[in-house]
Amino acid sequence: MFIKKKTKMLSCLMLIIGFVLSLSAHSERDMTDLQLDTIEKKYNKFARQRVIDWQALIRENHSLPEQEKLNRVNAFFNANVQFIDDQALWDKKDYWATPIETLSIGGGDCEDYAIAKYFTLKQLGVDENKLRLTYVKAVERNQAHMVLTYFENKRAVPLVLDNLIIEIKYATQRTDLIPVYSFNGSGLWLTKPKQNQRVSDAARLSLWQNLLLRIQNGH
């Protein structure tokens, strides 16, 4: 059943890659008071504070070792975002929220956690080549799930940042997860036994230009 969903999952991953490519342009700058006022008016004062705290997290932690950056970013989003699936939150089967949307509403699904952590770590100076958004099969739940993985170097066993558990663990310790696809702003990889085959170049995903434009316009 899970294997039959691979084609659909691949399409979703292509959409996510386009989304990720737009994040730096969309969120590099601090929010203005007017933008924060708009968030507070649309949501509430707690939404405004979550976004302010997120910006402070990015501004104040550039000098930390990367392991500590991972710990702080993982803890921040796991503490500030409540898990809510897309249908309940957005009245859509699939919706990929921006980090600002996720923090404003205070909720999101596994993709939203992983994307927000990925972007925030990039803003903190972590090389995107060390980061991959990774689709896995959550064995106990028998369903697709997304986590963020961090590779200290190309041969390293990755660390897994997950919304399901608080502690960051090595992938070899996460026997409850089976990797399927992974991607970042430069490419998409299909995970196979004993290899990691690159299957797409994210830079060529021109089909998603309309999506990128909407994100860059603040939607």
Say if residues 71 and 168 touch (Cβ distance below 8 Å).
yes
Segment 41-85, tens digit of pLDDT: 999 999 999 999 999 999 999 999 999 999 999 999 999 999 999
- What does the alpha-carbon distance between residue 200 and residue 133 come to, in Å, rounded to a whole number? 14
Domains of the chain, by residue range, sit at: 3-216
Segment 122-171, tens digit of pLDDT: 999 999 999 998 989 999 999 999 999 999 998 999 999 999 999 999 99
Say if residues 76 and 103 touch (Cβ distance below 8 Å).
no
Residue with the bigger pLDDT between 46 and 195: it is: 46
pLDDT the model gives residue 61:
97
Burial zone of 54 (CB within 10 Å; 0-12 exposed, 13-18 middle, 19+ buried): buried
Top-level class of domain 3-216: alpha beta
Separation in Å, CA 140 to CA 22, 82, 218? 33, 21, 37
Q: Residue 194 — φ and ψ, nearest 5°? A: 65, 15
The amino acid present at 82, given as its one-letter code, is Q
Torsion of CA 68, 174, 102, 33, to 10 degrees: 0
